[in-house]
Every structure is written in structure tokens, then in C-alpha cells.
Amino acid sequence: MKNGRIAIPSNGQGGLDGTRSGHFGHCDVFTLVDVEDSEIKDVSILRNQEHVQGGCMVPVNLLSENRVNALVVGGIGMRPLMGFRQVGIDVYHDDQRPGIGTVVKDLIAGNLARISNDQVCGGGGGQM
Amino acid sequence: MINILLVSPEKSTFKELETAFQEKKITAKWTDSAQNALLMFSKEKFDLFITHEHLTDMTGRELIEKALVKNAMMNSVAASTLSHDDFHKAYEGLGVLMQFPPAPGKEHVQNLLNHLNRITLIAGQQDKSRGEQD
């Protein structure tokens, strides 16, 4: 990824040194990373909204309105995945590493794959 | 004003729902098959559809999957005989607003509208928060 804004569902206060949340809909915050010419230019924190049943489009709209281009998840349900695609946010998959900074560097380096339809899971959750 | 589609093999299944929506000045259209519903979704914007779990041409779950590929913003409700836990397992990830019993009544319409309002309120807080940042 050369330019754009990356969102990482995060635990607690988030940030590059923080840990990722396994359930994007229920995460505490999103760590937003602005990338220019393949370099990290800025890191900011976006508070998540309340999650209710069937409210999967709330985080989709939240990230879209905050001009996010890419999201990295450990798992995601089919509806939010379709929602992100329909608003033009690319969804990448990593269910192994809990560190935020690690996956951000990997995404910038082009080492993360986009999530496929057969990788969707129930409830928007996932294990790392 | 929200636009609703009811999908069930028999119109009578959702008759009480239709009446309850009418009393609240909400128009709910009805169709008898998943294919018809998908065709209607292509031609008209619906905010919500309520499907029976067993349709003539596919299951309600399959209809929900196909519908969200077209428009994930459209909300869905499934009328199902499954237990709460089995329903959750069967429909996980599809973002279904709630489960209705096979023949839902007026009280279910009120619960649905309350739930929709709650989601709208959360989305509204989001917009307000964004406005304060701008």
C-alpha cells in the first residue's frame, strides 16, 4: 500500500504498540494509520460505536466517513464484509499476529492478502 | 419513511404484520418467492425485508445472503421456528436484525421499529460526533 488510511480494530487505547481486537464490531477503538509514499505519516485513534444485533453497518459507515481505505481483521461476518466492499474499503486478513504495528508494516509492504468470501465467519468475530 | 418487503409463500402468513405496519402509516409490499424479491431489490430501494425461513425457491437464509451481496445496507429479519441458539448459529454473520416467530404479530412490529430506531440513534451519534470534529 503506497498511500491511504489503514484501520485496525484495537483493544484499549490502540496505537502502533497496542494489540488488535479479534472482533471488529466490538473493538474499543480503531487505530487509524495514514500512509504516504509507503511510509507512516500519522497515527490517530477513532472510538468505536455501540454494537447492537444487526448493527453491522454502523462501523462500516463510521470507517467510510473517516475516509478509511483498508481494514485488517482477524475475522468478519459476511454482511459487514459486503458492506465494506460496497463502500470501497479493502478488507485484509491476518488471524495470527496480535500486534498492530506488525500488521500495519506488512500491509504497507504488500504482504497481507485480501480476505476471501470463504473466509467469512459468524458474528464478525475471529481468533488471533 | 421506510420501505419494507415481506417475503413468504402465503400472503396470510404475514397478514398481521402488514396490518400493523399500515396502522403505523408504513407501507409493506409482499411477494411470494425469493427470486421475485431479488428482482424487486434490483428495481427499487428497500430499507428492510422480512422473510419466512422456508420459501418456495430457496431458504430465507439463502435469500438474505444473496440480498446482502446486492446491498448490504438493507436490513433483514427472518421468521423462523429455530430456537434462539440454533437461530444465532444458523444466521451468524448475516447481520439479521432479529428473529420473528413463524406468524408474527403487532408486538413484533413494535419491537422491530424500536430496534431500528436504536440503530438509527447510534448512527446519528456517529454523525453528530463527526460534525463536532469538522
What pLDDT, in 10s, does the model give residues A88-102?
999 999 999 999 999
Say yes or no for a CB contact (<8 Å) between B95 and A77.
Answer: yes
Residue with cell 453491522: A56
Please tell me the predicted confidence (pLDDT) of residue A55: 80
Total tally of structural domains belonging to chain A: 1
Given a contact cutoff of 8 angstroms between Cβ atoms, the answer to whether A71 and A90 are in contact is yes
Give the span between the Cα atoms of A78 and B72, in whole angstroms: 9
Q: Which domain holds residue B40?
A: 4-133
Give the span between the Cα atoms of A28 and B40, in whole angstroms: 38
Report the residue of chain B nearest A66, measured CA to CA.
Answer: B130
Distance spanning both ends of chain B, measured CA to CA: 29
Say yes or no for a CB contact (<8 Å) between A83 and B73.
Answer: yes
B51: domain CATH number is 3.40.50.2300
ipTM of the complex: 0.85
What pLDDT, in 10s, does the model give residues A101-118?
999 999 999 999 999 888
Q: In what order do the strands lie in the sheet with B48-52?
A: B28-31, B4-7, B48-52, B75-79, B98-100
**A42 versus B127: which is more confidently predicted?**
A42
A24: domain CATH number is 3.30.420.130
Total tally of structural domains belonging to chain B: 1
What pLDDT, in 10s, does the model give residues B58-96?
999 999 999 999 999 999 999 999 999 999 999 999 999
Residues of chain A in contact with residue B48, where contact means CB-CB under 8 angstroms, are: none
Torsion, Cα A116 B75 B98 A27, to 10 degrees, reads: 50
Q: Which domain holds residue A79?
A: 4-124
